[in-house]
A and B are shown apart, each in its own frame.
Chain A
Amino acid sequence: MLGGFSFNHLIYLLDGLVWTVVLSALAFLLGGVAGFFVMLCRISRFLWLRRAALIYIQIVQGTPLLIQMFILYFGLGVINISVPPLVAAGLGMMIYSSSYLGEIWRGSVESISRTQFEAAECLGLTRWQALRDVILPQALRIATPPTVGFLVQLVKNTSLASVVGFLELTRAAQVINNSLFQPFLVFGIAALLYFALCYPLSVWSRSLERKLNVGRR
């Protein structure tokens, strides 16, 4: 007996949407902290640290997120660590977002003219002071639009957490579709919910780009 799509199904999807938002926020916060360190390593004075960060980025950006999720999922399994799906999915998303955010922020920092660094040095600021008080405030302006833009990628990619059994929006849609088999309707609603989440971010990113006038300096 195939029932129709009911109010309860919608509640189930919205519940999944909440978990999508939670996972996205977690990935952004943790990935942001890790990404900041990746950025620091990439602009470090030590060659080995720069190299290590570059290798990390090339590995993460050279493999699909799906494979990273699988490696993490089975990897945690074989060393007998049982973690809740949220932690496993969050960890996977953190690694993914740290590499991309690290590169975005490195680009922003490096787009600040070298003379700024040199001037700060002449004023007797330490390297950390120069970064904190001179470079980062300027880089923030440049980094904001692409960071918001990346948030869209992040929200969309949380959908891959569904493959390791994390019950977010995509997984919820799959579960409902398995019982109803009305894929156009169920996945259509899921797509609409994702769109409702991502589209404002896209628009915001574009308006920030115009407002901060990064393109035409």
Chain B
Amino acid sequence: MQYQFDFSALLPYWSDFLSGALVTIEITVFSVIIGLLIGVACAIARRSTIGPLRTLVSTYVEAVRNTPFIVQIFFIFFGLSSVGIRLPIIAAAVFAMVINVGAYTAEIVRAGMDSIHPSQIEAAEALGLSKLQIYRDIILLPAIERVYPALSSQFILMMLSTSIASQISAEELTGVANNIQSNTFRSLETYMVVAVLYIAITYLMRAGFYGLGLIAFPRRRRLGTSL
């Protein structure tokens, strides 16, 4: 049997596709920024001398990293509504994303901090730098610079996971596509268009991170992230 592709049925919905893509980008940008802050804080906490704090943070990181995003989203969204807290869908999705970005960022940044050689810190101490200066200029920033490629690909993976928010009917790109395909009955075509849009967003993000890398780390221009 020959299948007739018909993309024309999707034309009236082009603005819906775009607004869905925009929501995907917004969720991603917001949760990456907040999640990055949480992740860096957690990475620092995991190196602290306070035992319980270390345990708490590593429990959080391991719990998030070893369970599926879809289960986390269901847990948060349906769980909160079962105890009477009616979070807007987007808020629940962003909440789940922030938690995830935080845990993954914490692990990557920690790996970067571990890769800073102790002699660097000793040298900084010998030069009379303050504790804050050492942490900021010798440990944290060089660590982030070193793991920048890993961080940016992790953030792109997180952008792709926003599609899972469609399962609690969030109106991001995949959620919009679910609506469009049930209106037009052109399921295959709809998801093919969406796949292309996701690839476009992926490229956009890679270009963005590459540019950001050039601005933020001018010292090592070639390190950036590969386009």
Contacts and interface: CB of A to CB of B under 8 A. Distances in A.
B and A form one assembly: yes
Contacts, number: 116
A195 B195 contact: no
A157 B69 CA distance: 8
A61 B198 CA distance: 10
A160 interface: yes
Interface stretch (A107-115, A132-140, A176-184): A176-184
A202 interface: yes
A66 interface: yes
A160 B70 contact: yes
Interface in B31-78: 62-63, 65-72, 74-75, 78
B166 interface: yes
Interface residues of B, number: 38
A70 B69 CA distance: 18
Question: For chain B, what secondary structure do more than half of its interface residues adopt (helix, strand, loop), or is it mixed?
Answer: helix
Interface in B135-190: 160-164, 166-167, 174, 177, 187-188
B203 interface: yes
Given A62-B202, A67-B195, A170-B70, 12 more contacts: A59-B195, A63-B195, A63-B199, A64-B162, A64-B164, A67-B194, A68-B195, A70-B187, A78-B3, A183-B74, A183-B81, A184-B82
Interface of B: 1, 3, 62-63, 65-72, 74-75, 78-79, 81-83, 160-164, 166-167, 174, 177, 187-188, 191-192, 194-195, 198-199, 202-203
